Amino acid sequence: MNNLKQLRKQRGISQKYLANELNVAQNTISQWELGTRDIDSETLKTLVNYFGVSADYLLGNTDNPAPPGAKKSAQDDISLDEVEFALFGEVRELTEDDKEELLRMARRMRELDELKKEKDKDK
């Protein structure tokens, strides 16, 4: 069983959202998650970059999500200190929940940047 569903849930994104991101049908995502359809090599490469994990982890062949040669995972090397942001609403001190949310979004932003770079490279 592959880890696609788990990775998607961890990121809090729906099948529909991921399908839009990858430009495939939602049903295709569902079939990949159920293992009733193989993930082609090009898509696997995209998914690996998107989630920042190794292909082996995504395919369920290992428990180690770190991509080969990775010094740090995309999640480890982001510090809120380096993030520039602006929160909607009244100006107030940030709560711990706010900081966690901002960090999660900063990671997501980095994933999207990496995905875009990958797409631009393929053009």
Q: Give the footprint of other proteins on this chain (CB under 8 A).
A: 12-13, 17, 80-89, 91-94, 97-99, 101-102, 104-106, 108-110, 112-113, 116
CB–CB of 104/39 below 8 Å? no
Shortest CB 91 distance to other proteins, Å: 5
- Closest to other proteins by CB, 34 vs 94, is 94
Identity of the amino acid at 61: N
- Closest to other proteins by CB, 69 vs 89, is 89
Shortest CB 52 distance to other proteins, Å: 16
Query: 39 exposed, middle or buried (CB, 10 Å; 0-12, 13-18, 19+)?
Result: buried
Query: 82 exposed, middle or buried (CB, 10 Å; 0-12, 13-18, 19+)?
Result: exposed
CB–CB of 44/58 below 8 Å? yes
Shortest CB 70 distance to other proteins, Å: 20
- Closest to other proteins by CB, 37 vs 99, is 99
Identity of the amino acid at 46: T
- Closest to other proteins by CB, 63 vs 120, is 120
Shortest CB 107 distance to other proteins, Å: 11
